[in-house]
A and B are shown apart, each in its own frame.
Chain A
């Protein structure tokens, strides 16, 4: 027996080819999973950018549109504020013009006030009445509808107090009810020259002011009104609702501010522009949903487009994945069927190769039987001068029996080898399987002067294999080793070594034959690739072996160097701990042992 001979196959520099399991070939049940996985991936890949783009453009558009709508509203409000300012300025200057016109006397004579009012109303119909106040706050003269007011003392009225104290000579009041009990506001101007302290006051019709304020807005559904510092409305479109909910204008600022706020349960986009002529602010407000209606419409359109695009994408993805997976399924089925055919072809080829070897093994004992029987016939033939000798007969009959036993051993081995049932892998003893195959080839090796070195690890875990298929792989590798040694024509050495691995066992089959170039080695697992002469190799053995080992979840590697030899290494995974030890394996194992003994 040789020592460990694996060292003669050089590891450093020696090329190695590994034929690991290829990418997972999905089983029938995996196609559904593959299909749905593919669908989700494609949908995510197509839909995510679409949604991101749509969202980005939508928000950018909304921001832009909101800003633009706000700016528009601000500009509308500023224009209107300027107009209102101008209106108030004109009212003040109208009163001032009347006060300083030569028409007025202090106190005025009869009819003067009526003419004055008429004059003022000619300039602006918004003036309702006009009154002249003495410096002590008494209404001295009056023209207008409320004649009963004449003679009243206004010195304690807020507006009169203001005009007496202020550095300015004019005042515009908030809207109030006053003595007459009707909402109105007044414009008063104080004389500051020859009749200093006298005050001319005109009241302005709040309704026409309100109409004026609300008149020139440009936005549909926008509402414009004036509030005082306290937020009370100074103009109303529907008269009488002075006490409607106050609108907080915020603190006075030169800037026109747009904001969103809720009043009376409605969301408003509101712009506040402070007047310069009075402590009033112009408020322009639009219900938020009305202001942003164009955006909502765009959003609706974008959503519809995205939905349609989504539907199209989903449709296309579903359809194309179904088609793709169906094609894949068909291709894999075709490949599977081809592999099956190859497998059967190789099985036939290996049966043929083995039959040739077996013929030799059987013909030899048959020849012995024939010769012994013929010899006995010869001794019975007087012509040949033979004399029957019982001892000699007995010896010859024993020889015939031995030859028959020899033949039977070979046929039973052959039958055990060629058995084709038990297709499922079962826990098996690798050493035993290898020894059994080796027995079939042993004689052939001894004839070819090939030494066999065995190094079997005693503590191998059981491996999950189908024994017939593994037999085929080992036989194939042994045949190749034999051919490689014969091709090199040197003294042959074959080494078989099993080794325990953490998760299984390895079998190394090494020879010192002709070896392979890296180019050949790259192709040896391809179907129909052979280096043997025409009619000598099918080119299927290694590709089938590879397929078989792969089906056990194992791996087959090869290292080789030209003129030094090749070593094939098969890794087989260990049988799971709970797998049954396999009664048939045990039985076969014992029978195999008995055969070794005979």
Chain B
């Protein structure tokens, strides 16, 4: 069974958060809804997410800060901003901070799914590239090792995303 895409949704609009989470769950996302920025950063520290949908205007830590912290913790996470009122200034700011896309509420489901698909595509691409790099590095370093040893290392790499210790 294929692994579900892990999606973090951060929004202070409780009703919106709940329904959007339900709808994306129906569409086979592994959704974690979070009501504020601080909690979102905390959860993302404990578990890795593929994608995140983040609101901008929130009490406490605002959307820009959440975006910045998420990207800092995991450079491969792709973040989509979904805000009630977008401005060019905040869009530029978010793009600089590394957001994948910038959407305005209310947003068509198809459009949102399209953006999420593209975001995940980019994540896979960048992740694959990194994995390839790691693989060839592993192979280079293990030229004189036994085939069994190399196989064990490859399996570890596949599971954890990190090359095994020598």
Complex: how many Å from CA A384 to CA B107?
Answer: 20
Say yes or no for A52: interface residue by CB 8 A criterion: no
Q: Are B104 and A363 in contact (CB under 8 A)?
A: yes
- The reply on A366 being an interface residue by CB < 8 A is yes
Partner-contacting stretch, out of B18-26, B67-75, B135-143: B18-26
Closest to A392 in B: B22
* A359–B26 CB distance below 8 A: no
Which of B57-65, B92-100, B123-131 forms contacts with chain A?
B57-65
Q: Which of A356, A363, A402, A403 has the most CB of B within 10 A?
A: A363
Q: Are A386 and B26 in contact (CB under 8 A)?
A: yes
In the complex, which residues of chain A have a beta carbon less than 8 angstroms from the beta carbon of B57? Answer: 360, 447
- Which chain B residue lies CB-closest to A536? B89
Contact B84 A368 (CB under 8 A): no
In the complex formed, the residue of B with least CB distance to A399 is B15
- In the bound complex, do residue B84 and residue A363 qualify as a contact, i.e. CB atoms below 8 Å apart? yes
Provide the bound-state CA to CA distance between A372 and B106, in Å: 11
Residue contact B85 to A360, C-beta cutoff 8 Å: yes
| Nearest-Cβ distance from residue B109 to partner chain A, whole angstroms | 6
Q: A365: shortest Cβ distance to chain B, in Å?
A: 9
Bitwise, A366-384 to B at CB < 8 A (1) or not (0) is 1111111011001000001
Tell me which residues across on chain B come within 8 A of A372, comparing CB atoms. Answer: 15, 19
Nearest residue in A to B21 (C-beta to C-beta)?
A371
- On chain A, the residues within 8 Å of B114 by CB distance are none
Q: How many residues of B contact A (CB 8 A)?
A: 23
Give Cα distance in the complex from A357 to B105, angstroms: 14
**A384 with B87: CB separation less than 8 A:** no
A517 within 8 Å of B (CB atoms): no
Contact indicator A356/B26 (Cβ below 8 Å) = no
B62, chain A: closest CB distance, angstroms: 8
In angstroms, Cα B15 to Cα A372, docked, is 9
Tell yes or no: A385 within 8 A of B by CB: yes
Tell me the total A-B contact number using a CB cutoff of 8 A.
65
Chain B: which residue is nearest A362 at the CB level? Answer: B84
User: A367 to B83, alpha carbons, bound, how many Å?
Assistant: 10
- A375–B19 touching, CB < 8 Å: yes
Task: Report the minimal beta-carbon distance from B75 to chain A, rounded to whole angstroms.
Answer: 27
Q: What are the residues of chain B within 8 A of A384 when measuring CB–CB?
A: 26-27
Flag whether A361 is at the interface (Cβ < 8 A).
yes
The answer to whether A367 touches B109, judged by C-beta atoms less than 8 angstroms apart, is no
A366–B104 Cα distance when bound, in Å, is 11
Nearest opposing residue in chain A for B87, CB measure? A356
Given A366-B106, A367-B13, residue A359 in contact with residue B84 (CB < 8 A): yes
Which one of A363, A369, A370, A449 contacts B85 once the chains associate, using CB atoms below 8 Å?
A363
Q: Whole-angstrom distance from the CB of A364 to the nearest CB of chain B?
A: 5
**Consensus secondary structure, chain B interface:** loop
Interface flags, A518-542, vs B, CB<8A=1, else 0: 0000000000000000000000000
Check A298 for interface membership: any CB of B closer than 8 A.
no
In the complex, A371→B58 CA distance in Å? 19
Q: Mark B3-29, 1 if CB is under 8 A from A, else 0.
A: 000000000010110011011001100
Q: Once the chains bind, are A367 and B16 in contact (CB under 8 Å)? A: yes
Distance in Å from the Cβ of B103 to the closest Cβ of chain A?
Answer: 10
Residues of B within 8 A of A36 (CB): none
The answer to whether A447 and B84 touch (CB under 8 A), given A367-B105, A369-B106, A370-B106, is no
Whether A446 sits at the interface, judged by CB under 8 Å, is: yes
User: Given the complex, which residues of B lie within 8 Å of A402, measured CB to CB?
Assistant: 15
Residue contact A449 to B107, C-beta cutoff 8 Å: no
B84 lies within 8 A of A361 (CB): yes
Contacts of A378 in B (CB 8 A): 23, 26
Chain A contacts of B20 at CB under 8 A? 371
Q: Which residues of B contact A371 (CB under 8 A)?
A: 16, 19-20, 23, 106
A427 CA / B85 CA spacing, docked (Å)? 37
Cross-chain contact B105 with A374 (CB below 8 angstroms):
no
Partner of B59, one of A386, A396, A446: A446
CA distance A367 to B85 in the complex (A): 11
Question: In the complex, what distance in Å separates the CA atom of A401 from the CA atom of B127?
Answer: 44
Cross-chain contact B13 with A368 (CB below 8 angstroms): yes
Known: A364-B105, A386-B26. A359 touches B59 (CB 8 A): no
Give CA–CA (A371, B23) in the complex, Å: 8
Which has the most chain A C-beta neighbours within 10 Å: B15, B26, B59? B15
Residue contact A367 to B60, C-beta cutoff 8 Å: no
Give bound CA distance, A432 to B62, whole Å.
32
B contact residues around A357 at 8 Å (CB):
85
Report the nearest B residue to A366, measured CB to CB: B106
Q: A367 to B23, Cβ gap below 8 A?
A: no
Question: Which residue in B19, B58, B87, B105 is a CB contact (below 8 Å) of A366?
Answer: B105
Task: State the CA gap A385–B105 with chains docked (Å).
Answer: 26
Pair B87/A364 contact, Cβ less than 8 Å:
no
Task: Give A357 to B84 CA distance when docked, in angstroms.
Answer: 10
Q: Encode B31-69 as 1/0 by CB contact (under 8 A) with A.
A: 000000000000000000000000001111010000000
A405 to chain B, nearest CB (A): 13
Judge whether A447 and B16 touch: CB under 8 Å: no
- Report how far A83 CA is from B142 CA in the complex, Å: 164
In Å, the complex CA distance between A35 and B27 comes to 83
**Binary contact readout A431-464 vs B (1 if CB under 8 angstroms, 0 otherwise):** 0000000000000001101000000000000000
Question: Nearest A residue to B19 by beta-carbon distance?
Answer: A371
Contacts of B85 in A (CB 8 A): 356-357, 359-360, 363
Q: How far is the CB of B80 from chain A (nearest CB, A)?
A: 14
**A386: which B residues are within 8 A, CB to CB?**
26
Shortest Cβ distance from B14 into chain A, in angstroms?
10
* Residues in chain B near residue A364, CB distance under 8 A: 13, 16, 84, 105
Q: Which residues of B contact A370 (CB under 8 A)?
A: 105-107
Rounded to whole Å, the gap between the CB of A255 and the closest CB of chain B is: 109
- Of all A-B residue pairs in the complex, the 3 with the closest CB atoms, nearest first, are A360-B85, A367-B105, A370-B106
21 interchain pairs, CB-CB under 8 A: A357-B85, A359-B84, A363-B104, A363-B106, A366-B105, A366-B106, A367-B16, A367-B84, A367-B106, A367-B107, A368-B15, A369-B106, A370-B107, A371-B20, A372-B15, A375-B19, A375-B23, A378-B23, A403-B15, A447-B57, A447-B59
Other than the given A363-B85, A371-B16, A374-B23, 12 more pairs (CB < 8 A) read A360-B85, A363-B105, A368-B15, A370-B106, A371-B19, A372-B15, A375-B23, A378-B26, A385-B26, A399-B19, A402-B15, A446-B59
